[in-house]
C-alpha cells in the first residue's frame, strides 16, 4: 500500500506482493472475466477439445431465461444469473459437459409500450402518426442499445455463459423457427382463427391472454333494477351501461320465482336503446346471487357469451375498442364510466332503480398498461388446448407414442407421470391446477413489434405459410404473444427446427431455473411446445426461485425507491459479495431479501479468504510439499465438508451449501485450525511440515468449493498463488471438483 512504513519493516516472507494488501475486486474482476472468456471454457466443445471434459461425459444444460431488453438488469436477474452460474460452474468442475445458453428477449408488448411512451413524451407523437415501419426502426435502435448494456452486465456478474451460442428471440433463426412452429400447429389443427370474447386492453389497444390479467380489488356498486316498467323480472349489475347490449335474462331452471317466464320474450326501450329480451333457463345461474336473474350481455362478458352459445342468442356489440359506447341515443360516444352514471341517473328518473349496495369487486386490469380490461368479441388466433392430436414419438413417461391426446392432457400428464420434477413440490400442485383449468390461449396481439403472424389474405382467401404467396396477398397485421416464441426457447436456442447436434446432445435440458411468477406464462408453455413438437419434456427439473425483496421485506419498486442496483453494489463491495448475499438464506421458491448491509458483510468474507491465503502462503513459504503427508483427522473433516456440500447441491440447496462452506472457512478453518497451527508451525520439524501440507490442502479445497459461489476472489487467489494449485490446471474454473 502507499502509506510509507516508518516503523521497522516486518520481515516479509516470499509471497506474491498482491497478498500484502486487502483484496481489491475492482482491480481483478474485469480481467478475470476476460481470462475465462478468452480461454474458451464457457463452451463445452472447447472443454472437450482441451481435455477438461471427457467426450462422452454426461451433458448438463441450462438455457438462460432471457431477460427483457426493456432496460437494465435488476436484483432479480442478478439472483437468477447467480443461481444458474453456481449450478453451471459446479457441473463444469464436476466433469459434466456443461452448456449454459445466453439470450435476450424482445418482450413484444413491454418493449413497444416503453418505446411508444418515450416517443409520446419527447415528440408528442402516437405510433399511428409514426407508422409501422418507423416505429419498428425506433424499437430496434432502443433494443440494440439495451442489449449491449445488458450483455455487459451479465458478464460483470460473472456468468459463465457460452457466448458463441447467444440467441435473441427476434434474430433470424429464432424468427424463422417461430413461423415454422405456427404453421405446423395450424396444420395440426391446434391453432385456429375464431371469434370469441377476448380480454381487450383499451389502453394498450390489444388483446391479452388470461394470464396477463391482474386482478385489483375495488369498491363497486351493485345496482338492482328493471329494464322497464312492464318487465316482470329485476336484475342486478355492477355495470348497468352494458345492459344496452342485453338480449336475454337468464334464470335457474329450478327457480320457482321465474319458472312461468321462461321462454317469454319482451320488447323494451332501455336508455333510448330498443332491446328484445328473451327469458332463458340456464343452470349456470346462481339462484342466491342478487335477484337470481342475470341480464345476459353476450358481447361483453365471457360467461354471457357462453350462455348465448347455449341458447342461440344475438350478440350485439355496444362498446368499442376505445371503451366507448357505440349505441345511439343519450349514451352515444360516452366512455363506459360516464355511461354508467348516465344509465343510473336514467334509472332513477324512470323509477326503475330498486336498490344500490356497496360491494367489493375484482376488476381485471392489464398487467403491462394497467388499463381496465373490456371483454369484447374479436376475431383472433387461438391455440386449442382441448383438441386431441396424435403424438408421433413420445419420450414422456405415461404418454405412449402414436397416442392421441390434447395439449391440456399432455401438460397434465408430464407432471403426473414424473416427466419433470419440481424442486419445490408445492409448485407442482399449482401447475397441475392451472393445467387442468386451461382455456383457449389467445395468441394474436394488435401491436407491431414481435413475430408477425404468418397468415396471408386476399379477398376471401387465406393462406397459412411462412413466405408470402405472392402479389396481392396481405399479411395479417397482428403479431404473436411474446410467450408463444418464448415457449419454444429451449428448442430454438439449440437449433430447432433443424435436427442439430446441440438439440440431440442438450435437449431435454437438465434444468429450468426461473422465477415462480412465470410458471404459467413460460414454464408451462415450454412443456406444451416441447411436448407437441418433440414428444419430450423441455427440462428434467424445474427450479423456481422467489422474489428479491428489500431489507424490510418490501417489493422492489420504483415508487418506493428501494431498488438496489447489482452492478452499483458490485463496484462498492465486489460482485462475489453481491452474488453470495443474494443466495445466502434463500430457500428455493421462497422470497428472499437483500440489503446493503448484507452485501457489505460478505465483502468481509472475501477479504477473510484473502488473508487466510496470505497466512497459508507465509506458513508454507518455499517448502516442497509434494511428498509430505498431511494429517488424517483434518482430511477426514474436509471430506465430510465436501460430502455435505455435495448433498446440498444434489438437493438444489445451494443456500445451505454456501452456508456450510462459509462456516467452515471462517469459523473452523480461520478461527480454529489456523490458530491451532501457529504453535505447531513454530515448533518446526515433521509436524510443522505436515501441518503446512494440511493447511495448503484445506485452502485448495476451500477455493474449489467456494468457486461457484464467489468465482472472482477464488480465481484471483488461484492466479496469484500457483503453489496452491497442486498440479491442477491454471484456471480454477476448470479445476476438478474435490472428491471425498
Partner RNA sequence: GCGCGGUUAGCUCAGCUGGUAGAGCAUCACAUUGACAUUGUGGGGGUCGUAGGUUCAAGUCCUGCACCGCGCACCA
Residues that bind RNA (CB under 7 A): 10, 22-23, 210-211, 215, 222, 236-239, 284-286, 289-290, 292-295, 301-303, 361-364, 426, 429-430, 433-434, 437, 520, 553, 585, 587, 590-593, 597, 601, 603-604, 606-608, 611-612, 614-615, 618, 656, 663, 666-667, 670-672, 674-675, 678
For strands 444-445 and 441-442, give the pairing.
unpaired
Q: Nearest approach, Cβ of 585 to RNA (angstroms)?
A: 5
Residue given cell 360516452 in the structure block: 334
Place of cell 496470505: 614
State how far the Cα of 472 lies from the Cα of 459, in Å rounded to an integer. 9
Phi, psi of 529 (to 5 degrees): -70, -45
Minimum gap (Å) between residue 729 Cβ and RNA? 26
| Dihedral over alpha carbons 397, 401, 404, 410 (to 10 degrees) | 30
Residue with cell 332501455: 270
Q: Between residues 39 and 486, which has the closer beta carbon with respect to RNA?
A: 486
State the nearest-atom distance from the C-beta of 606 to RNA, in Å: 7
Q: Which is nearer to RNA, 124 or 684 (CB)?
A: 684
Q: How far is CA 713 from CA 28, 606, 646, 648, in A?
A: 8, 6, 21, 22
Q: Is the peptide bond before 497 cis (omega within 30 degrees of 0)?
A: yes
Q: For residue 274, what are the β-bridge partners?
A: 269
CB-based contact 268:275 (threshold 8 Å): yes
The secondary structure of 130-176 as a DSSP string is H-HHHHHHHHHHHHHHHHHHHHHHHHHHT----GGG-EETTSHHHHH
Distances in Å between the Cα of 576 and the Cα atoms of 157, 414, 600 are 8, 38, 11
Q: Are 423 and 544 a contacting pair, CB within 8 Å?
A: yes
The smaller minimum CB distance to RNA, of residues 642 and 674, is found at 674
Cβ proximity of 182 and 345 under 8 Å:
no
Nearer to RNA, 31 or 667 (CB): 667
Place of cell 461425459: 57
Nearest approach, Cβ of residue 219 and RNA (Å):
12
- Grid cell 419434456 is found at 537
| Shorter beta-carbon distance to RNA: residue 118 or 216 | 216
Nearer to RNA, 23 or 381 (CB): 23
Q: Which residues contact 676 (CB under 8 A, 6 or more apart)?
A: none
CB of 662 to RNA, least distance (A): 8
Residue closer to RNA by CB (options 10, 38) is 10
Q: What is the spatial distance between Cα 264 and Cα 280, in angstroms, rounded to a whole number?
A: 8
**Residue 319 Cβ vs RNA, minimum distance, rounded to whole Å:** 13
Cβ–Cβ under 8 Å, residues 372 and 201: no
Q: Least distance to RNA from the beta carbon of 210, Å?
A: 6
Beta bridge partners of 372: 365
Three cell numbers written together for 63: 438455457
CB of 535 to RNA, least distance (A): 28
Those residues with Cβ within 8 angstroms of residue 273's Cβ, 6 or more apart along the chain or in another chain:
244, 318, 327, 328, 329, 331
User: In the complex, what is the shortest distance from the CB of residue 289 to RNA, in angstroms, rounded to a whole number?
Assistant: 4
Q: How many CA atoms lie within 13 A of 459 on its CB side?
A: 1
Q: If you write DSSP's letter for every residue of 555-593 in order, what string do you get?
A: BP-TTTT----HHHHHHHH-HHHHHHHHHTT--TTS-EE
Residues listed for the chain: 740
Question: Whose Cβ is closer to RNA: residue 289's or residue 322's?
Answer: 289
> Smaller CB distance to RNA: residue 483 or 615?
615
Nearer CB in complex with RNA: 47/383:
383
Between 413 and 603, name the residue whose CB sits nearer to RNA: 603
User: Nearer to RNA by C-beta: 44 or 588?
Assistant: 588
Contact 577, 599 (CB under 8 A): yes
How near is the Cβ of 42 to RNA at its closest, in Å?
29
Collect all residues with Cβ–Cβ distance below 8 Å to 514 and sequence separation of at least 6: 65, 80, 522, 523, 543, 544, 545
Residue 137 or 667: which CB sits closer to RNA?
667
Minimum CB separation of residue 114 from RNA in Å reads 22
In whole angstroms, the minimum distance from the beta carbon of 471 to RNA comes to 44
Which residue number, 414 or 580, has a Cβ lying nearer to RNA? 580
Q: Kindly state the smallest distance separating residue 687's Cβ from RNA, in Å.
A: 18
How near is the Cβ of 362 to RNA at its closest, in Å?
A: 3
Strands 167-168 and 103-104: parallel
Q: How far is the CB of 613 from RNA (least distance, A)?
A: 8
Judged by beta carbon, residue 40 or residue 589, the one nearer RNA is 589
- Closest to RNA by CB, 23 vs 449, is 23
Please tell me the distance from the alpha carbon of residue 195 to that of residue 50, in angstroms, as a whole number.
58
Paired residues of 213 in beta bridges: 366
Q: How far is the CB of 217 from RNA (least distance, A)?
A: 8
What are the backbone dihedrals phi and psi of residue 363, each rounded to the nearest 5 degrees, phi first? -100, 130
CA proximity to 694, closest of 644, 636, 739: 636
Amino acid at each position: 500500500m502507499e502509506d510509507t512504513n516508518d516503523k521497522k519493516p516486518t520481515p516479509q516472507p516470499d509471497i506474491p506482493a498482491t497478498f500484502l494488501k486487502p483484496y481489491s475486486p475492482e482491480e481483478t474482476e474485469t480481467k478475470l472475466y476476460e481470462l475465462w472468456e478468452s480461454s474458451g471454457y464457457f463452451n463445452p466443445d472447447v472443454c472437450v477439445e482441451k481435455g477438461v471434459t471427457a467426450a462422452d461425459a454426461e451433458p448438463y444444460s441450462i438455457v438462460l431465461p432471457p431477460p427483457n431488453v426493456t432496460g437494465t438488469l435488476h436484483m432479480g436477474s442478478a439472483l437468477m444469473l447467480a443461481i444458474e452460474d453456481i449450478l453451471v460452474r459446479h457441473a463444469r468442475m464436476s466433469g459434466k459437459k456443461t452448456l449454459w445458453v445466453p439470450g435476450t428477449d424482445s418482450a413484444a408488448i413491454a418493449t413497444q409500450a416503453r418505446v411508444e411512451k418515450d416517443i409520446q413524451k419527447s415528440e408528442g407523437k402516437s405510433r399511428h402518426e409514426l407508422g409501422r415501419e418507423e416505429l419498428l426502426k425506433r424499437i430496434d435502435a432502443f433494443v440494440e442499445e439495451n442489449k449491449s448494456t445488458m450483455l455487459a452486465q451479465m458478464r460483470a456478474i460473472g456468468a459463465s455463459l457460452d457466448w458463441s451460442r447467444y440467441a435473441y428471440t427476434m434474430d433470424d433463426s429464432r424468427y424463422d423457427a417461430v413461423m415454422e412452429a405456427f404453421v405446423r400447429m395450424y396444420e395440426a389443427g391446434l391453432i385456429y382463427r375464431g371469434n370469441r370474447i377476448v380480454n381487450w386492453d383499451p389502453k394498450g389497444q390489444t388483446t391479452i391472454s388470461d394470464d396477463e390479467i391482474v386482478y385489483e380489488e375495488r369498491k363497486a356498486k351493485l345496482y338492482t333494477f328493471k329494464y322497464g316498467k312492464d318487465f316482470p323480472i329485476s336484475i342486478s349489475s355492477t355495470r348497468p351501461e352494458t345492459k344496452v347490449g342485453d338480449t336475454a335474462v337468464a334464470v335457474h331452471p329450478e327457480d320457482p320465482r321465474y319458472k312461468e317466464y321462461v321462454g317469454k320474450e319482451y320488447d323494451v326501450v332501455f336508455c333510448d336503446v330498443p332491446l328484445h329480451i328473451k327469458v332463458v333457463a340456464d343452470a349456470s345461474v346462481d339462484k342466491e346471487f342478487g335477484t337470481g336473474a342475470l341480464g345476459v350481455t353476450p358481447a361483453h362478458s365471457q360467461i354471457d357469451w357462453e350462455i348465448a352459445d347455449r341458447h342461440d342468442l344475438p350478440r350485439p356489440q355496444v362498446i368499442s375498442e376505445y371503451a366507448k359506447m357505440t349505441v345511439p341515443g343519450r349514451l352515444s360516444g360516452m366512455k363506459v364510466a360516464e355511461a354508467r352514471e348516465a344509465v343510473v341517473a336514467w334509472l332513477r328518473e324512470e323509477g326503475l332503480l330498486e336498490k344500490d349496495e356497496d360491494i367489493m369487486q375484482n376488476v381485471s386490469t392489464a398487467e403491462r398498461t394497467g388499463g381496465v380490461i373490456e371483454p369484447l368479441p374479436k376475431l383472433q388466433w387461438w391455440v386449442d388446448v382441448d383438441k386431441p392430436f396424435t403424438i408421433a414419438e413420445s419420450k414422456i413417461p405415461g404418454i405412449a407414442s402414436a397416442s392421441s391426446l390434447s395439449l391440456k392432457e399432455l401438460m397434465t400428464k408430464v407432471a403426473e407421470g414424473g416427466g419433470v420434477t419440481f424442486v419445490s413440490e408445492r409448485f407442482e400442485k399449482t401447475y397441475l391446477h392451472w393445467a387442468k383449468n386451461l382455456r383457449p390461449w389467445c395468441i394474436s396481439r394488435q401491436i407491431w413489434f414481435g413475430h408477425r403472424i404468418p397468415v396471408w389474405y386476399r379477398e376471401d382467401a387465406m393462406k397459412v405459410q411462412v413466405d408470402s404467396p405472392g402479389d396481392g396477398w396481405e399479411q395479417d397485421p397482428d403479431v404473436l404473444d411474446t410467450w408463444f416464441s418464448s415457449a419454444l426457447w429451449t428448442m430454438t436456442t439449440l437449433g430447432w427446427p433443424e435436427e442439430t447436434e446441440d438439440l440431440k446432445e442438450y435437449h431435454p435440458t437438465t434444468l429450468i431455473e426461473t422465477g415462480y411468477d412465470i410458471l404459467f406464462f413460460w414454464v408451462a408453455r415450454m412443456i406444451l411446445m416441447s411436448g407437441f413438437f418433440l414428444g419430450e419434456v423441455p427440462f428434467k427439473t424445474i427450479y423456481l426461485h422467489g422474489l428479491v425483496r428489500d431489507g424490510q421485506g418490501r417489493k422492489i419498486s420504483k415508487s418506493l425507491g428501494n431498488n438496489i442496483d447489482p452492478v452499483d453494489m458490485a463496484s462498492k463491495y465486489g460482485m462475489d459479495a453481491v452474488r453470495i448475499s443474494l443466495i445466502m438464506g434463500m430457500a428455493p421458491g421462497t422470497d428472499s431479501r437483500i440489503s446493503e448491509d448484507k452485501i457489505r458483510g460478505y465483502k468481509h468474507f472475501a477479504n477473510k479468504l484473502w488473508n487466510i491465503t496470505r497466512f497459508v502462503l507465509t506458513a508454507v513459504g518455499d517448502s516442497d510439499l509434494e511428498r509430505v503427508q498431511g494429517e488424517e483427522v483434518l482430511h477426514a473433516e474436509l471430506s465430510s465438508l465436501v460430502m455435505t456440500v455435495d448433498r446440498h447441491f444434489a438437493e438444489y440447496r445451494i443456500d445451505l451449501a454456501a452456508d456450510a462452506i462459509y462456516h467452515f472457512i471462517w469459523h473452523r478453518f480461520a478461527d480454529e485450525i489456523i490458530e491451532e497451527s501457529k504453535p505447531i508451525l513454530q515448533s518446526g520439524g515433521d509436524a510443522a511440515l505436515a501441518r503446512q501440507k494440511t493447511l495448503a490442502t484445506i485452502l485448495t479445497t476451500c477455493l474449489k468449493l467456494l468457486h461457484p459461489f464467489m468465482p472472482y476472489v477464488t480465481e484471483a487467489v488461484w492466479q496469484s498463488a500457483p503453489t496452491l494449485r497442486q498440479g491442477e490446471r491454471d484456471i480454477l474454473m476448470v479445476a476438478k471438483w474435490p472428491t471425498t
